[in-house]
Structure 1
Amino acid sequence: MRIEQGSTHEAVRRHNLSVVLRQLHLAGPLSRSELAMRTDLNRSTIKALVAQLGSLGLVRESDADHRGTRGRPSPMVAVRSGRLVVLAVEIAVDFVTVATVGLGGRIHAEQRIDLAHGAAVRPAVLVRQVRDVAAELVRPSQVIMGVGVAIVGLVRGEDGFVHIAPNLGWADVPLGQLVADELRVPTAVAGGSRAVIGPDVPVLVANEADLGVLAEHARGAAQGFDNVLYLSGEVGIGGGVVVGGRRLTGANGYAGELGHLPVNPDGRACGCGGRGCWETEAGKRTFLRLAGHEQSERPEQPTDPVAHVVAAAKAGDPQAVRAAEEVGRWLGIGLAGLVNVFDPDRVVLGGMYGRAFDVFEAAVVEVLKTRALTPPTVELVPAALGPESSLIGAAELAFEPLLADPDGVLTASLSARDGAASARVESSPAPRTKGKRDG
């Protein structure tokens, strides 16, 4: 059978564009020589690909790199992070964060909305708050290429449908559609009104811990490791897994809901309706309760009670030490089972576990020594990105379509914008001038 060489070459070109852009997005500025070494492509191919990415407005070249090279110095290449951006949203139990993020992971603007502790917020109300904040953050010169949303709940990957978010009191919420619809409604801003995103912009939603492992694998403590277990503890426990270099999502995107592993048949009731779930034994509420700092609205409540208990444990306070040991023990029991199942190279602890790593580590390691079946070679480390892990992961999720097919996504996006601009001009009763496209 005759093979169409043209389509084959086009597929290779698009793949190579993706490879080069992804390298620059994750590694930062690189010389053409470094790009050639990292991608196994020759210098002439790299030159052509960089020129194509430059024509798309995705990268720029600067002065040649003179760092100990022989022969002709190689120009430096870096992403353009200012104009083409994504919107990243993190929906936690006590707060919502919205940010605009450029290529290379640069956060341009960020705003947090604090939620009343223990007060249920209706999805539609919260999404409208997100829209209003996003409209303030996005500059007129910026083009939103995608929206990524991290949420503390069980999320269907294909459409962002939240099956259940126990700690928010949500069930069966079409969050992806809600966010997309709301962000496409024109909102009043300085100088007029505009929609945050156009009709063609993808809105992607995933569990916050799944996106935490995505961020740590791309930019944090799990860089360079192909088999990773990530655990984040706050009000609940979330987890994410990387196997063979790929994030484990499951058939519908529900994989990694680790907080509801049943670990104690005689344990406390959980918000999911079960009993003795992992998060009831090793979650934030239990840690504070055991330390005598149950969360409340009392004026004397510390701003960060976890930090207060950690400081007390380090100072030798008996109750705080016992709380750290007990929660660390249950944390280790759950981790031992997961280590036996996934055999990770590295375990990354985020959220409360990252902040309190110093007081939990000894108890966790002790349990792993006695309960994990594999040799004790797995590394246990705190998250490198701290509280920003899930937000950065949401941005990475939103960038994925552009990184996978820079040429195709940008061509489609610009065509849609031109079509929308033409429709607006044609529907105008008596236009005097055409609107200038933000190019």
Structure 2
Amino acid sequence: MREARELLDVPAQGREWNRRRLIIEIMVKSDRQSQLSRRTGLSGGQVSQTIQDLTQEGVVEVDAPGGGRAKGKVRLSRMRGVAVGVDLGFNHTSVVARPVGEPHDRIVVKRDDFGANAGIRRLLPNVLRLVREAVEDTNQGMSDVVSAGLGVPRMVDPRTGRFATPVLPPWEPEDDPAGELTAELGVPVVMDNDANLGALAEQTYTSEEAVEHVVYVKASTGVGIGIVVGSNLVRGQRGMAGEIGHLTIEPNGRMCLCGGRGCLDTVIGAEALLDQVKQSRRGTNRDVPATLTELVLKAHNEDAVCKRVLQDAGRALGFALAQLCNLINPHRIVIGGELAEARSLLLEPCGQELARFALSGSVAPGADFELRTSTLSPHTEAQGALILGLRSRSSK
């Protein structure tokens, strides 16, 4: 059986670099040649010729049921090698692992309620354990790991791969989770904001055809968005693009962790929503949800206060997203994170506020606009981290 490392570890430039880039995109997702051309930026002729060469070498295979080879999906031949994606939430860790020759939806998932709030020293051993368990469940070993990506709930400077300033809790300026995981795993680990990676996964894995403008909303402890235009993440100069959680909604509102007042995080972040329910239970601690997940469950069980809290959160989110629609006019907005489990309780009021405050041409019926919850949840961000890790190998 061929080793994926043989294809990824050798230095490459020119045609060899194009070849490796194409192989990596097939590892990310088997696809038609036209879509591989779009995703890699290579011409149709370059893709066609390289696929012919790789087919002759036994590296890839082309499924062509009735539509001809050019329209068939190109997939990797059976091969040793595992790609890993890690999502560090504030209160959870998710790890996905997938043999590079398997379909993108055939992943092994490991999850633990132990996240960044525990501190990096306690967190890393737990992450390594989950990675080891996930890789072993693919029937391969840690020596077969060829790439790894890491999603974190804070801003990441694309120039350095480290946390952007200001470094907000629970992280410290000296924390370098990607660097420490690199030392332990023996492969380069690349890091990005979790909402960015959610957008990357949604744009890559949920449509047969390309969707050019995708916004992914990660709504849990805080709120952030990832923006994909074409196949490119919009990170901004220092990784601060998409920080919608720090968009001012109430100028004289509550103080935010960032030092601002009335940020969206202070209105619909998990702590703010739980506080609203707690205030309604004045004089008693009975039936007060301790987590956002519990709040959502109570709402689905017809708790009047929890339902109203989530509906109001949907309205506040819709107002914020309307401003975004007027700025970038996305094709699709996908809501993920724990808050997305509220489903219609959140989506309906969110859509109403979008219709009220966004330009009608961007969100009205017939505008080719879609608002929905993530179909990859609850592992959307980890899937995006896996993609990030693989694509980082094209520059090595």
Q: TM-score range by the shorter chain?
A: 0.7 to 0.9
Q: Distance in 2 between matches of 1:336 and 1:115?
A: 34
Q: Is the contact between residue 161 and residue 172 of structure 1 (CA under 8 Å) also seen in structure 2?
A: no
SS in 1 for 2:210: coil
- Please report how far the alpha carbon of residue 12 of structure 1 lies from its aligned counterpart in structure 2 after TM superposition: 4.2
Identity %: 25
Work out whether 1:391 is the aligned partner of 2:382.
yes
- 263-272 vs 274-283, which moves further: 263-272
Match of 1:361 in 2: 347
1:51 aligns to 2:60 (yes or no):
no
SS of the residue 2:226 aligns to: strand
Q: Does the 8 Å contact 2:222/2:265 carry over to 1?
A: yes
CA-to-aligned-CA distance 1:194-224 (integer Å, 9 cap, x gap) = xx32xxx322000100111011111126962
Give the SS at the match of 1:225: coil
Give the structure 2 partner of residue 5 of structure 1: none
Q: Structure 2 unaligned runs (5+)?
A: 1-12
Matched with 1:61 is 61
The answer to whether the 8 Å contact 1:100/1:108 transfers is yes
What is the one-letter code of the residue matched to 1:213?
Answer: A
Among candidates 75, 78, 96, match of residue 93 of structure 2: 96
Provide the residue aligned with 1:111 in structure 2: 110
CA shift at 1:180, angstroms? 2.1
Task: Tell me if 1:40 matches 2:40.
Answer: no
CA, structure 1 residues 357+170, in 2 after alignment: closer, same or farther (shift >3 Å)?
Answer: farther
Structure number with greater Rg is 1
Match of 2:309 in 1: 323
TM-score by length of 2: 0.78
Paired residue for 1:307, among 296, 303, 308?
Answer: 296
Shift of 1:36: 9.9
Aligned residue number for residue 157 of structure 1: 158
Separation in 1, partners of 2:304, 2:167: 35
Matches within 5 A, 1:251-400: 251-292=237-278, 304-312=293-301, 315=302, 317-375=303-361, 376=363, 377=367, 378-400=369-391
Structure 1 vs Structure 2 CA RMSD: 3.7
Task: Say if 1:332 and 1:368, in contact at 8 Å, map to a contact too.
Answer: yes
Shift of residue 120 of structure 1?
Answer: 4.0
Query: How far apart are the structure 2 equivalents of 1:34 and 1:362?
Result: 33
Partner of 1:190: none
List per-residue Cα deviations over 1:75-101 (Å, max 9, x = no partner).
975224752222221110111123323
For residues 213 and 37 of structure 2, the distance between their equivalents in structure 1, rounded to whole angstroms, comes to: 27
Structure 1 position 18 matched with structure 2 position 21: yes
Partner of 1:79: 76
Q: Secondary structure at the match of 1:156?
A: coil
- Choose which of 28, 31, 34 in structure 1 pairs with 2:30: 28
Deviation, 1:46, is: 3.1
Query: 1:46-79: CA deviations, max 9, x gaps?
Result: 3213334x3xxxx4438x75x3368x99997522
Higher strand share: 1
Deviation at 1:280, TM superposition (A): 1.2
Higher relative contact order structure (alpha carbons within 8 Å, sequence separation ≥ 6): 2
Assess, with a 3 A threshold, how the Cα gap between structure 1 residues 387 and 167 changes in structure 2: closer, same or farther: farther
Residue 95 of structure 1 aligns with an amino acid whose one-letter code is H
User: 1:363, 1:205 → 2: CA distance?
Assistant: 34
SS at the partner of 1:161?
A: coil
- Contact 2:278–2:288 (Cα < 8 Å) also in 1: no
Distance of aligned partners of 1:321 and 1:227 in 2 relative to their CA distance in 1, 3 Å threshold: same
Q: Letter of the aligned partner of 2:293 in structure 1?
A: D
SS in structure 2 of the partner of residue 254 of structure 1: coil
Cα distance change on mapping 1:357 and 1:36 into 2, 3 Å: closer
> Structure 1 residue 299: deviation in Å?
11
- The 1-side partners of 2:319 and 2:288 are apart by 36
Q: Does 1:174 align with 2:192?
A: no
What are the superposed Cα offsets for residues 391-429 of structure 1, whole Å, 9 maximum, x if unpaired?
Answer: 000000000034x37xxx5xxxxxxxxxxxxxxxxxxxx
- Kept in 1, the 8 Å contact 2:314–2:346? The answer is yes
Report the alpha carbon displacement of residue 129 of structure 1 after superposing the two structures with TM. 2.6
> In 2, are the aligned partners of 1:288 and 1:305 still within 8 Å (CA)?
no
Counterpart of 1:114 in structure 2: which amino acid? D
Distance in 2 between residues matched to 1:76 and 1:379, nearest whole Å? 27
Counterpart Cα distance in 1 of 2:357 and 2:37: 46
Are the counterparts in 2 of residues 302 and 308 from structure 1 also a CA contact under 8 Å? no
Structure 1: segments with no counterpart, 5+ residues = 1-9, 184-195, 410-439
Query: Could you tell me how far 1:160 is from its partner in structure 2?
Result: 2.9
